[in-house]
Amino acid sequence: MNQSARRAQITPASTIFPDLEPANGGSIARDFTPRRKLALLNRFGNARAAAVGDIKITTLSFRNQHERGTLLTKYMEARKSIFIDRLNWNVSEADGMEFDQYDTPACRWVVLHEFGEVLGGVRLLPTTASCGCYSYMLRDAQRGLLQDLPTDILFFEAPVNQKVWEATRFFVTDKVPAVRRAAIQHALFNGMTTAAKEAGASQILGIVSAVWARWARRLNVKATPTGAKFPVDGGYSQSVLFNINKPAS
């Protein structure tokens, strides 16, 4: 099926997101507080709380990055170690840092760190974003602007609404041992959803591994597939919608 035929089959976004209204965005820098650690302790027991350790989660933006020293630089360096050095992605690099056209003042970077070392991170971008000919990754793939991603990456027309944000570059570094990995992933996902809610989002779109249902259950995450599976890095990925205002049962 050619790209024109694929686009003709796309469902309008208004039928998928009928109740969304524009909302004002925001940015708040936060730490992973003792109260949040206590919540993990109550919910998951001593093993999970111990694995969290002394980590902090900080939401960075162009407005507040100066308050956190070199944290943004370290985050970009960690992204390079994952996506360029390990996964061999053909993405931009400068001075030991990985970046692309979506790292703009419109985005938020959620960074998980401990004792000055980055353990993981994720980038959030509103679906209302615009920078030159680009908007956000899933929409630009659907528009045929990204040659490494399929145009039928979503079953519906890519939304443009402040209440829907996109999550990309979700990672946990190789320095995190297996015994801590699940707890770190859970903490990072919680940090991502909190940052998105603070910015006015009620839903998050993202590209995840096609085995997402397995880790979604493990992390107690509610998600719905929103596109066909496609090959990436020797495996398969898929677009997913997270309804962050509706906790998993």
- Report the alpha-carbon distance of residue 47 to residue 122 in Å, rounded: 24
Tell me, yes or no, whether 114 lies in a domain.
Answer: yes
**DSSP 8-state code for residue 97:** E
Which residues on adjacent β-strands are paired with residue 58? 111
pTM for this prediction? 0.80
Q: Residue 116 is part of a domain; what is its CATH number? A: 3.40.630.30
Mean of all residue pLDDT scores within the chain: 83
Three-class SS state of 191: helix
Encode pLDDT of 64-92 as tens digits.
999 999 999 999 999 999 999 999 999 99
Encode pLDDT of 97-121 as tens digits.
999 999 999 999 999 999 999 999 9
Q: Parallel, antiparallel, or unpaired: how do β-strands 108-114 and 230-232 relate?
A: unpaired
Tokens (6 digits) for 47:
């093993």
Encode pLDDT of 145-179 as tens digits.
999 899 999 999 999 999 999 999 999 999 999 99
Tell me, yes or no, whether 127 lies in a domain.
Answer: yes
- Report the alpha-carbon distance of residue 27 to residue 171 in Å, rounded: 21
Tell me, yes or no, whether 249 lies in a domain.
Answer: no
Number of domains in the chain: 1
Tell me, yes or no, whether 248 lies in a domain.
Answer: no
Going from the C-alpha of 205 to that of each of 126, 136, 243, the distances in angstroms are 10, 10, 9
pLDDT of 197: 95
Using the structure block, give the residue that is written with the tokens 């993990």.
Answer: 40
Tell me, yes or no, whether 49 lies in a domain.
Answer: yes
Query: Are the C-beta atoms of 192 and 201 separated by less than 8 Å?
Result: no
- Percentage of the chain modeled with pLDDT above 90: 62
| Maximum alpha-carbon separation in the chain | 54
Tell me, yes or no, whether 165 lies in a domain.
Answer: yes
Tell me the one-letter amino acid at 8: A
- Domain residues for the domain of 132 are 3-15+24-243
Tell me the one-letter amino acid at 196: A
- Report the alpha-carbon distance of residue 52 to residue 40 in Å, rounded: 9
